[in-house]
Amino acid sequence: RLIESGGGSVQAGGSLTLSCAASGFTFDDYAVGWFRQVPGKKREGVSYIRGSGTYTFYTESVRGRFTISSDNVKNTVYLHMKNLKPEDTAVYYCAADSRPGLIATVVAGTEGHLALWGQGTPVTVSS
């Protein structure tokens, strides 16, 4: 399973780092994506990483502000978020799948069933 942590409340312009830890398996053969969802709105893909970090992708609204990284020793994927804006407020979820192409399409907005999801961690950015 996936265990997220690191959410919280910050003021606009602040930073947070979210963690997604794998329990019971390793990320070696998985791509990992971050998603966010505001209640009542559609889930939005934020970023994904595959190939032990050799390939990363960011949705346009977070590009330049968010950085995804992985630590194979800790079996954890991070989402480093800086210059946060009120519109970044959401519950953030990580997901993992052994099919990197599927992660890519789901992050891009295509419906798809990813193998593993975390429980979500809330991020609130106040103005």
**Predicted confidence (pLDDT) per residue in 46-105, tens digit:** 999 987 778 999 999 999 999 999 998 999 999 999 999 999 999 999 999 998 889 989
Answer yes or no: is pLDDT of 33 > 80. Answer: yes
- Split at pLDDT 50, 70, 90, the class of 26 is confident
88 vs 20, 26, 63, 66, 91, CA distance in Å? 18, 29, 12, 11, 9
Alpha helix positions (H), the chain: 100-107
Query: Could you tell me what percent of the chain has a pLDDT over 70?
Result: 100
Answer yes or no: is pLDDT of 38 > 80. Answer: yes
CB 47 within 8 A of CB 35: no
Both structure tokens of 67:
């950085």
